[in-house]
Amino acid sequence: MNSPLAHLLVRWLVLALGVVIATHLIPGIHCSDVGALIAVVVLLSFFNAILRPILVLFTLPFIIVTMGLGIVVINAILFLFVGRLVDGFTVTGFWPAVGGSLVLSATNFVVSAVPRSTAARRGGRPPGPPRSGGDVIDI
């Protein structure tokens, strides 16, 4: 899966799976239909790519002082913001947004760990930068 489009679609499917799991596990998060789910996935992807790095940059001292818990707050705010923007997707408050963002993070972590564990069982290594000492010239 070297194609950027295929990589993007897999990330969107994982995000959609996380949103569906969050709607079933967290009281206060509801998604009415597939159209709303698609809109949520696209907006969350956009916000994570554009707004999240800017928010992390501006709140870096807060994130350092709270030892990373500020990232959870940023993710919850973005989740809550998407709940306000998309018709058919409701997030009733801040704490359901925190729960939903934690479910999304856990889903993303578990699904992204699968290729690493299967590569380790096959005796290979997960995709990533090549190790030094191989056929790569380091300058």
Domain boundaries, the chain: 4-112
Q: What is the pLDDT of residues 61-80, one digit of tens each?
A: 999 999 999 999 999 999 99
- Distance, CA of 25 to CA of 53 (rounded, Å): 28
- Whether residue 132 has pLDDT greater than 90: no
Q: How many helices (H) and strands (E) does the chain have?
A: 6, 2
Residue 44's nearest CA partner among 74, 24, 3, 70 is: 74
At residue 138, the pLDDT reads 47
At residue 135, the pLDDT reads 55
- Distance, CA of 61 to CA of 74 (rounded, Å): 13
- Distance, CA of 63 to CA of 31 (rounded, Å): 30
